Each structure stands twice: as structure tokens, then as C-alpha cells.
């Protein structure tokens, strides 16, 4: 377990990683949280040539924040922030869906003739942006960060997914098409979708009873 510097236990608005995630904008998000296994039913739009996208893929205790770049017909997939076992994406080569990004159950980035992606009880795929940060700044800040799965579920039966840990700088909570960033020590919500994924209940930060959902701790390495 990572030991946190006690002088950095409480975040301030000047912490680069706080500034970054408070600036995070959800461009598009698709997700699933049901007792029947199926694909998410959505995708992230194709990447234009000469451009890039940040894509967040999560399920259970797995998460990868991808940077997907395209130059002509060539793609570069870079994991900027990732749990020990990441969460995957697949770029479609199917007619009518070429270039779309879908969630997949296998870690890593791949390609395939798909218009649905993988089946699951619960997972989330989101295109995000950091509009006031350069590519270099995003890479530098995330390169000095770690992410760890605190709690997660992907099952045909529902059960509570929650954490009582306040030993993280930030918390990422994800459920279906809802996503939150929280101050990890104070449990105040910093950014996310209009509808929250998590809530505070007693001594817990909880997603409630879910079939699929994830809670992650984000920390810095310095």
C-alpha cells in the first residue's frame, strides 16, 4: 500500500492533479448496470485524422485512461493512467462503424469487426477532455499519478459497492453512464456528470446496490 506524505493528505485548489480533474469535461459517456449480460449499447465516436481523444474505460476494479491518436489510417493507443490490470477498448473495423471505440472485456486496445463491443453486467466508457490543459501537461500530471481499484462489481446479482477509505488524494466513482471525481480525504465532489454516481452514506462513499460499478483511488507518486 502506498504511503502518503502527511503534508499532502489534504488537497488544495493549487494541486496540479486537482486542477486537472476539476477541469475534466465529459464529452460522451455510455455505460451499463443491469443483471443481464450484454454490450453497453453505445460507443465513443471515431477519432479524426490528425487529432486525438482521451477515453476512460472502467469495469470492476479495472480502469484505463487512454489517449487515442490518429494520423491517416494509423492509430496510437497510449495508457496514461491504469490500474494493475487495465480496462480495454476495441476500435471497430466494421462497415458503417469504422473507427468507433467500444468497451471490451479484454485489457488493452485492439481492433475488430464489431458494432457492439463486449458483453458485461456493468462497465463504463467515456470520452473526456481537459480543455484548459495542453497534451504535455496532461501527460506529465498523469505520469506522476497512480490509480488503484478500491471496490468494484460485475455480477448477475446486485450488492453494495462502497469504500470507507479516506487515504487517497482523489476518488473516481463510476456507475453506468455516471461518473464522479471526489476529494479523497474530505469526500466532497469536484466534478463529473450532472447526475452523481456515488453519494456519502454514514462512513461510506457508496454507489449503492449495483450489478456493476467501480470506485478507484488516485494518488501522486511524489
Q: Report DSSP letters for 59-122, one per residue.
A: ETTEEEEEEEEEETTEEEEEEEEE-SS--EEEEE-STTTTT-EEEESSSSEEEES-SS---EEE
Question: What pLDDT is recorded for position 12?
Answer: 59
Task: State which residues of the chain have pLDDT below 70.
Answer: 1-14
Residue 47 lies in a domain: yes
Domain with 196, as residue range(s), is 11-220
Question: What pLDDT is recorded for position 65?
Answer: 98
Question: What pLDDT is recorded for position 1?
Answer: 35
Residue 39 lies in a domain: yes
> How many domains, the chain?
1
Distances (CA, A) of 209 to 181, 203, 214: 20, 16, 12
Residue 187 lies in a domain: yes
Residue 62 lies in a domain: yes
Q: Which residues of 18-51 are buried (b: 16+ CB within 10 A; e: fewer)?
A: bbbbbebebeebbbbbeeebebbebbbebbeeee
Question: What pLDDT is recorded for position 10?
Answer: 55
> Distance (Å, rounded) from C-alpha 154 to C-alpha 214?
9
Residue 2 lies in a domain: no
Residue 5 lies in a domain: no
The CA R_g of the chain, rounded to the nearest whole Å, is 17
Residue 214 lies in a domain: yes
Instruction: Enter the pTM of the model.
Output: 0.93
Question: What pLDDT is recorded for position 11?
Answer: 55
Residue 1 lies in a domain: no
CB atoms near residue 81 (< 10 Å)? 22
> Distance (Å, rounded) from C-alpha 204 to C-alpha 102?
32
Element (H, E) at 206: strand 204-220
**What is the end-to-end Cα distance of the chain in Å, rounded?**
15
Amino acid at each position: 500500500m502506498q504511503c502518503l506524505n502527511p503534508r499532502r493528505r489534504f488537497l488544495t485548489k493549487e494541486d496540479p492533479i486537482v486542477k486537472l480533474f476539476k477541469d475534466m469535461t465529459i464529452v460522451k459517456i455510455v455505460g451499463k448496470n443491469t443483471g443481464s449480460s450484454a454490450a453497453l449499447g453505445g460507443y465513443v465516436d471515431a477519432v479524426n485524422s490528425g487529432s486525438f481523444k482521451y477515453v476512460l474505460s472502467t469495469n470492476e476494479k479495472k480502469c484505463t485512461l487512454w489517449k487515442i491518436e490518429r494520423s491517416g489510417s494509423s492509430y496510437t493507443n497510449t495508457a496514461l493512467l491504469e490500474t494493475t490490470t487495465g480496462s480495454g477498448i476495441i476500435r471497430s473495423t466494421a462497415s458503417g462503424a469504422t473507427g468507433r471505440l467500444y468497451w471490451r472485456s479484454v485489457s488493452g486496445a485492439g481492433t475488430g469487426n464489431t458494432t457492439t463491443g463486449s458483453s458485461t453486467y456493468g462497465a463504463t466508457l467515456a470520452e473526456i477532455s481537459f480543455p484548459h490543459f495542453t497534451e504535455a501537461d496532461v501527460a506529465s500530471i498523469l505520469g506522476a499519478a497512480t490509480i488503484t481499484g478500491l471496490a468494484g462489481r460485475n455480477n448477475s446479482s446486485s450488492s453494495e459497492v462502497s469504500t470507507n477509505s479516506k487515504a487517497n488524494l482523489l476518488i473516481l466513482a463510476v456507475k453506468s453512464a455516471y461518473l464522479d471525481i471526489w476529494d479523497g480525504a474530505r469526500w466532497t465532489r469536484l466534478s463529473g456528470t450532472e447526475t452523481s454516481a456515488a453519494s456519502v452514506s454514514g462512513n461510506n462513499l457508496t454507489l449503492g446496490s449495483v450489478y456493476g460499478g467501480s470506485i478507484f483511488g488516485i494518488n501522486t507518486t511524489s
